[in-house]
Homo-oligomer: A and B are copies of this chain.
């Protein structure tokens, strides 16, 4: 990682801010599957994603999950932005889906930069806005759509980030949508009949 790469991954920031980030941030390499944040955990630093794919999801008290959205290079964990003022606890869980590189910044700097760098402030606000929108879309999906539409929608999101052949099991999809494996298998069969996907073992191929 170099400061050059930082400029590429996070365009539109001010020059002195790049220096500031470079001098104060810690770079952390995580492995696919590593947990980055759990519901209830106190947030100690702001996280920016440099590389890799991070999955954000909601967990209830019985351990049931619900997939919310992905973060990738150039994006920030809103929960860690939003907690900057007070050292609050997280309301979401995050897990690395691929090997990933994360930049962590002490919370007090985050606060300082907000008033010091207009570009940082804009980055944070835009980040909020897009996460807010993701949540609203999620609410739409659950409130207004049946499982078949939600499944299609879900696969679509995966394909955007991961390419047309998804290495995923029916059980994992069921967990992400808080459904059950049999239901997902059933609906996938129907999607296959409609030529939307081809089902392989451990993988689903998206058509069109």
A contacts, CB < 8 Å to B: 58, 60, 64, 66, 68, 78, 82-85, 88, 91-92, 114-115, 118, 121-122, 125-126, 128-129, 131-133, 135-136, 138-140, 142-144, 178
Q: Which residues of B contact A84 (CB under 8 A)?
A: 125
Contact at B178–A129, with CB atoms within 8 Å?
no
Instruction: Give the docked Cα–Cα distance between A122 and B110 (Å).
Output: 13
What are 24 A-B pairs with beta-carbon distances under 8 A?
A58-B136, A58-B139, A58-B143, A60-B140, A66-B140, A66-B143, A68-B139, A82-B125, A82-B128, A82-B132, A84-B125, A85-B122, A91-B132, A91-B136, A92-B136, A114-B121, A115-B121, A128-B132, A132-B132, A135-B135, A138-B139, A139-B139, A142-B143, A143-B178
Contact at A144–B66, with CB atoms within 8 Å?
yes
Instruction: Give the docked Cα–Cα distance between A133 and B114 (Å).
Output: 22
Instruction: Give the docked Cα–Cα distance between A20 and B82 (Å).
Output: 26
- Give how many copies assemble into the complex: 2
Contact at A85–B125, with CB atoms within 8 Å?
yes
* Closest B residue to A114 using CB positions: B121
Contact at B82–A144, with CB atoms within 8 Å?
no
Q: Which residues of B contact A83 (CB under 8 A)?
A: 129
Shortest beta-carbon distance from A160 to chain B in Å: 20
Q: Which residues of B contact A125 (CB under 8 A)?
A: 82, 84-85
A133 and B66 in contact, given A84-B125, A126-B85, A143-B142 (Cβ under 8 angstroms): no
Instruction: Give the docked Cα–Cα distance between A122 and B142 (Å).
Output: 32
Instruction: Give the docked Cα–Cα distance between A85 and B120 (Å).
Output: 12
Instruction: Give the docked Cα–Cα distance between A20 and B135 (Å).
Output: 33
